[in-house]
Structure 1
Amino acid sequence: MSTPSRSTPMDLAAAAAMRGVRGANPLVGAVLTAPDGAVLAVGHHRGRGTAHAEVDAIARWEAARAADPGLAALDTAAFDPADLTLHVTLEPCDHTGTTGPCSEAVLRAGFGALRYAVADPTGDDGGGAARLSRHGVRVEGPTGEAAAVALTARWRAVRAAGRPWVTAHLAQSLDGNAAAADGTSRWITGEASRHHAHEVRARVDAIVVGTGTVLADDPRLTARAADGAAAARQPVPVVQGRRRIPADAALHAAHPVVLQTGERDPHDVLAAIAAHPGPWPHGRRAEHVLVEGGPHVLGAWFSAGLVDEVMAYTAPLLLGAGLPAVAGLDVGTLADGIRLVPDPAEGGPVKALGEDVWTHLMPAP
């Protein structure tokens, strides 16, 4: 059951966290170790609504014990919770949201020690370390390991700004076009890309497009499974722009709530989203926004510095004098370009989706 490793437990926790998805919740990993440092369990958070990393590690440890209880006779320490240490990249939460508080789960497990790398900055969610300490757990942290700090740097900045996480969606040809010169765009990317894009839609609270997209394509903007069935939770469509949406638009038939704002500045769009009472699919406020365009909408969000991650779906197709996927950027020289860096989270930064290529990027720090 014990597995030696040259990496530190926090390194392993950070690597495990990268298997998760970015969004409203942070990437978090957890590793449980025995007194001799042997790794007993590794857990990670898979996204909003799923078990947190601490709970995942506890479940894996308990499953291993249940699968082979005879190991207790060979390695008693590995099954004495008070002698074990839980290493977590982010301070355990101490509140009840879509899941219960991780601090309570750690106390129930009976672990004797906790090490965490980064303090939870969000007020209501934080405080888990203090609670554990009050109940006799030996707590060390924040320890500040670089790999763990880097995991949540952008997420912490977004939380500090008090705004939702913003994902930009680009579906484009190899030469960077979202449509051919005559405006035809359905479908540039293949079925596998569209299926992945619908999985992302199901994670978010709001999906932003411009009035131009609504008038040209009449989209439903729903999240659907591979078989075409509607996902359990649907994003709220947000249409930015001043042109009127027709009463018979597909959006109205597909969604009980459609938010249209005459604002074009992305900061004002976020303010309108924050002021809207919902209902939001994942809670009392919008914490994850997906921007799907068109090109001038995407350009405005990039220019405003509000894009936290980019998911680009690129088809093996050349369109020549087509319509660009992103437009309106005020870039006159190479040095003024908006720099992005590969994001290894969620199986990225590059993977094949059928014939297409999915690229996962974040703004350069």
Structure 2
Amino acid sequence: MADNVKNFSVEYNPINNSDIFTSGDYITGRITLELAKECKIESLCVKLKGKADVKWKEHYGRTVVTYHKKEKYFSVKQFFIQKGKDRNVVDKGCHVYPFTFQIPAEDLPSSFCGKFGKILYTLEANLSRSMRMDSKAKTLFTLINKGNHYPRLMTPQQSTIDQKMKLLTSGEVAMDVNIPRTGFHQGEGIKVVASIQNKSSRNIKPKFCLYQKNSYFAKGKRKIETRDILKEVGEVIPRSAGQTVTRIITIPPTTCMSILNCNIIRAEFRLRVYLDVKYAFDPEIKFDIVILPALEGSYVEQPPAYFRSEALPNFYMSPASFPQNPTDTGPSAPPPPYMSYGVYPSLSGFDGKA
């Protein structure tokens, strides 16, 4: 028996040029239902959902153990047609059902997609008919956490290491490194100042590495995934010499944001400053870095690299015009989308308190 449904889809309207939402924003959109002929429908609804999910497997000899855990943030449903109502016969043609949701104004973790877990925010439409499998449509949208609540964002960091060389290298090297604070925005530069004393028998090179460490938690176990974001190399410091090195390490604008408010997924970043000493263990210093959303107007046009359509097909949608009239000020009308988009504060507004 031929299916009468020619098209069933759900889409939303981008709230800004970056197509990125945050908690408390309104999200508007529509379900499109195209029928080849008149059809009786039991129910038609759309659901706004937010959840985190982790899953991986570990082998213990011949035994394979699956570690899996979910964390649900919200689930809000809106019906257009409900079972038992008189209006459940829909005519032939194309029908559009607009909707509006407000994303809960809670401390929600940012959208994320890693090797062993993901944090997803979705709009899911469901069409139910008698004697038929339900028709489903889904689209993802990106939500970011502004990070205002993270402590110690403005706290400067400083560390020192003094290491004696062994084996094929003699003498010692010392390094004192500082960075101006802990929190940095996507696309921002980290000013690294390193005072280096090379009292060894070899030339050395200062090196810099920004890397990401993702942690996944389930059943009391932890799975770790790491990857380098960028690496840079400084000029050679000759033996028996001292030098102060200043380097600006620019965070790529497509870098994932820190996720520190999810119970089953953490995305953390560290800046590693180390000295490359031939035939010796490299002395190193590590700083914890909190990466915050780019300041307003600094976003790249594409969605963040960790959440692009290559990883999740059909995710990214080109911007569309808002369906609401900005002059509509009726008592039930939500604020226009552009008004609910908050300006990211500069870091000078943080006082380092929780």
Give the TM-score of the pair, scaled to structure 1: 0.22
Say which structure is richer in strand. Answer: 2
Higher relative contact order (Cα pairs below 8 Å, separated by 6+ residues): 2
Give the TM-score of the pair, scaled to structure 2: 0.23
Larger radius of gyration: 2
